[in-house]
Amino acid sequence: MAKPKLLVTRRLPPAVTDRVNATYDAVTNADDHIMSADEVIEKAQGKDALLVTPADKVNAALIERLPASVRMIATFSVGYEHIDLEACKKRGTPVSNTPDVLTDATADITLLLMLGAARRAYEGERAVREAAWKSWSTTYMLGVHMTGKRLGIFGMGRIGQAVAKRARAFDMEVHYSNRNRLPADLEQGATFHANPEDLLGVSDFFSINAPASPETFHWLNAARIAKLPDNAIVINTARGTLVDDAALIAALKSGKLFSAGLDVFENEPNLNPAYRELQNVFLLPHLGSATVDTRNAMGFKALDNLDAFFAGKPLLDRVV
Ligand code: DGY
């Protein structure tokens, strides 16, 4: 039987590429360039499915131009805000994502950002490298203590819960808001705030772990930052669009916030340039899931979904 034809829009980890080539007649992207919409449409001719990433804009205009041969889209990510799901639904094209397998890696990087932002890791690293560190001193580069502080988790899905688990090892008092209250076995003693506005005032650390959606667009704005305790620390490992950058930058500059730790940005990689000028922000280039194990697992999950589709079975992780 002929192998299904697949367009892979970005380079994949080697182990995932091997599996792609074993199962699919695939066009891959060895030099990992960003394909224009025209290139995607051209390369999608005659393909049965697309394997895309969060860096691809699979918007309605692109979906409308897809050749009729394309019957499924798998994304190499848990997030799917880069895909116009309504347009896929209208076209009758199922979409799959890769939940679960990146939960731990993303929660780990949330803790890295919390510690990095609280303990001034960027400034300290820089001082050592630039030979600006002169002597141990009782008052040199003092940070914020994390142990025992209150952590507010905005979005208590799989990743939020994994962050809470790690925070408990730091004896943090965990608070959260979520569409629905979790059952006690998942809540693990965390305090639920039915109104997310109430979460702000109890968040010495405020961690954004909710998906991007029209409702969460620029959710953390100036009015809400004002409700955070003075000296609070903001962490974002979800999506940049949940934060109003101008408001966050103003609060970091004014000293309202002690610092921020950010792995994701609106319009990334073209983030608001003001972030680069600030000392009190710990920045990472969207590395939440960037471990070899996790990226392999994400790729395999995307392929499990494609395999299921072409075997006529239900998708394992269907978002549309
Ligand atoms: C995802 O899968 O949505 C992540 O942001 C990628 O790291």
User: Is-above-0.95 flag for pTM?
Assistant: yes
Q: Whose CA is nearest to atom 4 of ligand 1?
A: 77
Residue 260 and residue 283 in contact, taking contact as beta carbons nearer than 8 Å: no
Q: What separation in Å is there between the alpha carbon of 287 and the centre of ligand 1?
A: 9
Q: What separation in Å is there between the alpha carbon of 265 and the centre of ligand 1?
A: 12
Buried b (16+ CB within 10 A) or exposed e, 138-150: eeeeebbebeebb
Indicate which atom in ligand 1 lies nearest the CA of residue 102: 2
Distance of alpha carbon 159 from alpha carbon 102, whole angstroms:
8
Catalytic-residue membership of 193: no
Q: What is the 3-state secondary structure (H, E, C) of 196-238?
A: HHHHHCCCCEEEECCCCCCCCCCCECHHHHHHCCCCEEEEECC
pLDDT value for 1: 83
Buried b (16+ CB within 10 A) or exposed e, 289-316: beeeebbbbbbbbbbbbbbbbbeeeebe
Q: pLDDT, tens digit, for every residue of 102-150?
A: 999 999 999 999 999 999 999 999 999 999 999 999 999 999 999 999 9
- The proportion of the chain whose per-residue pLDDT surpasses 90, expressed as a percent, equals 100
Distance of alpha carbon 265 from alpha carbon 150, whole angstroms:
25
H or E segment at 151?
strand 150-154
Catalytic-residue membership of 268: yes
Average confidence (pLDDT) over 211-226: 98
User: Model confidence at 175, in pLDDT bands (50, 70, 90)?
Assistant: very high
Indicate which atom in ligand 1 lies nearest the CA of residue 77: 2
Distance of alpha carbon 210 from alpha carbon 204, whole angstroms:
18
Q: What separation in Å is there between the alpha carbon of 95 and the centre of ligand 1?
A: 15
Q: Which amino acid makes up residue 59? A: N
pLDDT at residue 234 tops 90 = yes
Length of the chain: 320
